[in-house]
Amino acid sequence: MFYGSSGSSFSYNERLHKNSDFKKIFEHGVRLSVGFANIFIFNRKDGKPIKRLGLVTSKKVGIAVERNKAKRRIREIFRTGKNKLVDGLDIIFVLKSSIKFQKYSFIEQKIFDTLKSAGYCKE
């Protein structure tokens, strides 16, 4: 059965949509902190290899243009690096206002360093 995309796209099935999914991850997931975001991770263990992403940004992050830029950056980091992650993860990024001052390469490095140290990367 096809669960998501193989390759480097970011399909509909790789996004978190339901409020109940967000609540479950916030309540039962592991919380990791990076300077510019809090990361909530839940390992589904349902046998499906797909990894799903959810984003939360408040108006504290900035005006709409800044919030959307921050979300685009996180989506792109997820899209290009999802093959490094273990299967069956649901990940939510709660973005902080300091993300708008960070460079893309710094954000990417910090995210994968944190996930690797927590044991969520294959490598």
In a domain, 122, yes or no: no
In a domain, 3, yes or no: no
In a domain, 98, yes or no: yes
In a domain, 70, yes or no: yes
User: In angstroms, rounded to a whole number, what is the distance separating the alpha carbons of residues 40 and 81?
Assistant: 17
Sheet bearing 89-95, strands edge to edge:
30-34, 37-43, 89-95, 52-56
What's the pLDDT band for 97 if we cut at 50, 70, 90? very high
Q: 42 with 88: CB under 8 angstroms?
A: no
pLDDT digits (tens, 9 = 90+) for 41-57: 999 888 889 999 999 99
Domain count, the chain: 1
Does residue 74 register a pLDDT over 50? Answer: yes
Token pair of 107 as six digits: 């954000």
CATH number for the domain including 97? 3.30.230.10
The model's pTM: 0.89
In a domain, 7, yes or no: no
Residue with the bigger pLDDT between 109 and 5: it is 109
pLDDT digits (tens, 9 = 90+) for 9-41: 888 999 999 999 999 999 999 999 999 999 999
| 20: containing domain | 12-115
In a domain, 123, yes or no: no
